[in-house]
Structure 1
Amino acid sequence: MAVKKNLRIGVDVGGTNTDGVIIDPTRSSEADRGIVAWHKAPTTKDPSNGIADAITTMFKSASVDPASIASVTIGTTHFVNAVITRDATRLSRVAVIRLTGPFSKHAPPCVDWPSALRNLILGHFALVKGGLEVDGDLISDIEENEIVEKCKKIKEKGIRSIVVNGIFSPIDTVKRQEERAAEIIKRELGNVDVVLSKTVANLGFLERENAAILNASILAFARQTISSFQTPIKKLGLTCPVFITQNDGTILSGEAASRLPIRTFSSGPTNSMRGAAFLVGNEGKGEAMMVVDVGGTTSDVGLLLATGFPRQQAAYSELSGVRMNFSYPDVKSIGLGGGSLVTRVRDRLKVGPESVGYKLPEKALVFGGDTPTATDYTVASGGELKIGDPGKVRNKFPPEDIDAFRAETRRMLEQIIDTMKTSPEDLPVLLVGGGAVIAPDSLKGASRVIKPKWSGVANAIGAAMARVSAVVDTVRSTESKSEKEVLVEIEEEARRRTIEAGASADSVSIVEVETLPLPYIADKVRFVVRAAGDFDYARAGDFAQSDVPNAIQNEPEIEASHQYKSGSAPSNENALPSNPEEDKDYATAVDFNAYRPKVTNREWIISETDLQWITIGCYILGTGGGGSPYSTMLRVRGILRSGGTIRVVSPDDLKDDDRVGCGGGAGSPTVGIEKLAGDEMMHAQDHLYSLYPGGRPTHFIPIEIGGSNGLQGLVLGASPNLNIPCVDGDWMGRAYPTKWQTTPVVFGERAIVFAPVCIADGNGNIMYMPTATSDLKVEQIIRAALSQMGSSVGAADGPVSGAETRRWAVEHTLSLSWRIGREVARARKDNRIDSVAEAIIDAVGGKETGRVLFKGKIVGVERKLWMGHVYGEVIIEGSDVDDCSSPFSGKIKIPFKNENIAAIRVHEGEENRTGEEKNEDVLAIVPDLVSVIDAQNGEAIGTPEYRYGLLVLVIGITASERWTSPKGIEIGGPKAFGLGHLEYKPLGRFVKPVSVIDEYDEK
Structure 2
Amino acid sequence: MPSVFRIGVDVGGTNTDGVLLDPSATSQANKGILAWHKSPTTLDPSHGIQTVITALLHASKIEARDVASVTIGTTHFINAVLEKDSNRLAPVAVLRLCGPFSRDVSPAIDWPADLRDIICRYCAFVDGGLEIDGEPIKEIDEGQVAQECRIIQEKNIKSIVVNGIFSPSDLVQRQEERVSEWVREYYPEADVVISKEVANLGFIERENAAILNASILPFARSTMRSFERAMRRLQLQCPLFITQNDGTILPARLAARLPIRTFSSGPTNSMCGAAFLVPDLKENMLVVDIGGTSTDVGMLLASGLPRQAAAVTEISGVRMNFFVSRCEEVQPIFIGLGGGSLVRKGSTSAKLIIGPDSVGHHIHTRALVFGGDVPTATDYAVVAQGLTNIGDATLVPVAVRDGLTEYTAVVTQMLERVIDSMKTSDADIPVLLVGGGAILAPDTLRGASRVVKPEYSGVANAIGAAIARVSGTIDIMVSTADRTTRAVLEDISRMAVDRAVENGAIRESVKIAEMDAIPLNASVPPLLRTLANALATRKQNPHFLTTTMQPSLRSLKKKPSERAVDGEASALDIAAYKPTVTAQREWLISEIDLEWISTGCYILGTGGGGTPYPHFVRLRQMLRTGSVVRVISPDDLSDTAVIACGGGKGSPTVSIEKLPADEQMEAQRMVYEQIGHGCRPDAVIALEIGGGNGLQGMLLGASSNLDVPTVDGDWMGRAYPVSWQITPVVLGGDKAHFLPTAIADGNGNNMLLLSGASEKLIERIFRAALSEMGSHVACAKGPCSGKNTKEWVIDNTISLAWRIGRAVALCRVKNQIDFVADAIIEQVGGRESAKVLFRGKIVSVERKTVKGHVYGEVVISASDVSELSGLLKIPFKNENIVALAVDGDGKEEVVASVPDLISVCDVSTGEAIGTPEYRYGLLVFVLGIQASEKWTATPRGIQIGGPRAFGMDADYKPLGIFRKPRSVIDEFAQR
Q: Which residue of 592, 606, 611 corresponds with 1:628? A: 611
CA contact (8 A) 1:973 1:984 kept: no
Structure 1 CA distance for aligned equivalents of residues 157 and 580 of structure 2: 44
1:363 is the counterpart of 2:361: no
1:970 is the counterpart of 2:966: no
Partner AA of 2:515 in structure 1 = E
Q: Cα offset for 1:593?
A: 4.4
Q: Which residue of 84, 108, 111 corresponds with 2:109? A: 111
Q: Cα offset for 1:161?
A: 1.1
Q: Cα offset for 1:958?
A: 5.6
- What are the within-5 Å matches in structure 2 for residues 186-205 of structure 1? 186-205=184-203
Q: Which residue of 1 aligns with 2:891?
A: 913
Larger mean CA deviation between 959-968 and 488-497 belongs to 488-497
Q: Which residue of 2 aligns with 1:737?
A: 721
Structure 2 CA distance for aligned equivalents of residues 861 and 760 of structure 1: 38
CA contact (8 A) 2:899 2:936 kept: yes
Q: Which residue of 1 aligns with 2:789?
A: 805
CA contact (8 A) 2:515 2:920 kept: no
Structure 1 CA distance for aligned equivalents of residues 959 and 486 of structure 2: 40
Distance 1:18-1:851 versus aligned 2 partners, 3 A rule: farther
Structure 2 CA distance for aligned equivalents of residues 88 and 431 of structure 1: 33
Q: Which residue of 2 aligns with 1:102?
A: 100
Partner AA of 1:613 in structure 2 = W
CA contact (8 A) 1:201 1:212 kept: yes
1:269 is the counterpart of 2:274: no
Q: Which residue of 1 aligns with 2:602?
A: 619
Q: Deviations over 1:22-49 (max 9, x none)?
A: 2344666766555443223343444222
Q: Deviations over 1:129-162 (max 9, x none)?
A: 1112233221222111111221222122111111
Partner AA of 1:528 in structure 2 = L
CA contact (8 A) 2:424 2:815 kept: no
Q: Cα offset for 1:742?
A: 0.9
Q: Secondary structure at the match of 2:101?
A: coil
Distance 1:466-1:895 versus aligned 2 partners, 3 A rule: closer
Partner AA of 2:892 in structure 1 = T
1:984 is the counterpart of 2:958: yes
Q: Secondary structure at the match of 1:788?
A: helix
1:959 is the counterpart of 2:943: no
Q: Cα offset for 1:710?
A: 0.7
1:529 is the counterpart of 2:525: no
CA contact (8 A) 2:727 2:793 kept: yes
1:639 is the counterpart of 2:622: yes
Q: Which residue of 1 aligns with 2:644?
A: 661
Q: Secondary structure at the match of 1:787?
A: helix
1:870 is the counterpart of 2:867: no
Q: Which residue of 840, 862, 876 corresponds with 1:858? A: 840
1:330 is the counterpart of 2:329: yes
Q: Deviations over 1:484-519 (max 9, x none)?
A: 56437755886898799x769999977345356879
Q: Secondary structure at the match of 1:728?
A: strand
Q: Cα offset for 1:165?
A: 0.9
Q: Secondary structure at the match of 1:660?
A: strand
Partner AA of 1:972 in structure 2 = G
Q: Which residue of 311, 318, 323 corresponds with 2:314? A: 318
CA contact (8 A) 1:857 1:949 kept: no
Structure 2 CA distance for aligned equivalents of residues 478 and 985 of structure 1: 37
Distance 1:706-1:166 versus aligned 2 partners, 3 A rule: same
Q: Which residue of 206, 221, 224 corresponds with 2:222? A: 224
Q: Secondary structure at the match of 1:683?
A: helix
Distance 1:797-1:484 versus aligned 2 partners, 3 A rule: same
Q: Deviations over 1:66-104 (max 9, x none)?
A: 233343221111111111011122111111111111111
Distance 1:458-1:839 versus aligned 2 partners, 3 A rule: closer
CA contact (8 A) 2:68 2:541 kept: yes
Structure 2 CA distance for aligned equivalents of residues 527 and 84 of structure 1: 33
Structure 1 CA distance for aligned equivalents of residues 718 and 229 of structure 2: 61
Structure 2 CA distance for aligned equivalents of residues 430 and 483 of structure 1: 42
Q: Secondary structure at the match of 1:194?
A: strand
Structure 2 CA distance for aligned equivalents of residues 249 and 984 of structure 1: 46
1:41 is the counterpart of 2:39: yes
Q: Which residue of 2 aligns with 1:10?
A: 8
Q: Cα offset for 1:124?
A: 0.8
Distance 1:870-1:767 versus aligned 2 partners, 3 A rule: farther
Structure 1 CA distance for aligned equivalents of residues 808 and 693 of structure 2: 20
User: Which segments of 5 or more consecutive residues in structure 2 lack a partner in the other structure?
Assistant: 342-353, 364-375, 388-392, 394-411, 548-566
Q: Deviations over 1:887-937 (max 9, x none)?
A: x79899584635455779x7x9469522476xxxx7xx6444455555655
Structure 2 CA distance for aligned equivalents of residues 431 and 889 of structure 1: 36
Q: Which residue of 736, 742, 753 corresponds with 1:752? A: 736
Structure 2 CA distance for aligned equivalents of residues 587 and 197 of structure 1: 37
Structure 1 CA distance for aligned equivalents of residues 535 and 893 of structure 2: 40
Q: Which residue of 2 aligns with 1:391?
A: none
1:700 is the counterpart of 2:673: no
Q: Deviations over 1:191-250 (max 9, x none)?
A: 121111122222111111111111111122222222222222222222333222111222
Q: Cα offset for 1:740?
A: 2.4
Q: Cα offset for 1:7?
A: 3.3
Distance 1:981-1:176 versus aligned 2 partners, 3 A rule: closer
1:460 is the counterpart of 2:443: no
Distance 1:483-1:613 versus aligned 2 partners, 3 A rule: closer
Q: Secondary structure at the match of 1:635?
A: helix
Q: Deviations over 1:283-340 (max 9, x none)?
A: 99xx99978465478674455798x975641211111111111211125668999999
Q: Which residue of 243, 250, 268 corresponds with 1:252? A: 250
Q: Cα offset for 1:527?
A: 3.9
User: Paired residues, what number?
Assistant: 887
Q: Which residue of 2 aligns with 1:775?
A: 759
Q: Deviations over 1:370-424 (max 9, x none)?
A: xxxxx99xx9xxxxxxxx9xxxxxxxxxxxxxxxx9xx99x9899959999xxxx
CA contact (8 A) 1:827 1:835 kept: yes
Q: Deviations over 1:818-871 (max 9, x none)?
A: 344345445555666676666656655x65x95562498425555445874334
CA contact (8 A) 1:513 1:527 kept: no
Structure 1 CA distance for aligned equivalents of residues 79 and 920 of structure 2: 30
Distance 1:34-1:757 versus aligned 2 partners, 3 A rule: same
Q: TM-score, normalised by structure 1?
A: 0.76
Q: Percent identity?
A: 45
Partner AA of 2:41 in structure 1 = T
Distance 1:499-1:693 versus aligned 2 partners, 3 A rule: farther
Structure 1 CA distance for aligned equivalents of residues 420 and 799 of structure 2: 41
CA contact (8 A) 1:518 1:668 kept: no
- What are the within-5 Å matches in structure 2 for residues 97-496 of structure 1? 97-275=95-273, 292=287, 295=290, 300-302=297-299, 312-326=308-322, 327-330=326-329, 362-364=379-381, 368-369=383-384, 435=438, 454=456, 456-469=458-471, 471-472=473-474, 478-483=480-485, 486-487=488-489, 490=492
Q: Secondary structure at the match of 1:682?
A: helix
Q: Cα offset for 1:122?
A: 1.1
Partner AA of 2:632 in structure 1 = V
User: Which segments of 5 or more consecutive residues in structure 1 lack a partner in the other structure?
Assistant: 341-352, 370-374, 380-387, 389-404, 421-425, 544-583, 881-887
Q: Secondary structure at the match of 2:772?
A: coil
Q: Deviations over 1:535-554 (max 9, x none)?
A: 998977999xxxxxxxxxxx
Q: Cα offset for 1:752?
A: 2.6
Partner AA of 1:809 in structure 2 = V
Structure 1 CA distance for aligned equivalents of residues 424 and 598 of structure 2: 32
Larger mean CA deviation between 218-227 and 31-40 belongs to 31-40
Distance 1:444-1:115 versus aligned 2 partners, 3 A rule: closer
Structure 1 CA distance for aligned equivalents of residues 959 and 924 of structure 2: 28
CA contact (8 A) 1:861 1:874 kept: yes
Structure 1 CA distance for aligned equivalents of residues 611 and 589 of structure 2: 20
Q: Cα offset for 1:711?
A: 0.5
Q: Cα offset for 1:260?
A: 1.4
Larger mean CA deviation between 723-732 and 77-86 belongs to 723-732
- What are the within-5 Å matches in structure 2 for residues 9-28 of structure 1? 9-25=7-23
Structure 2 CA distance for aligned equivalents of residues 4 and 891 of structure 1: 47
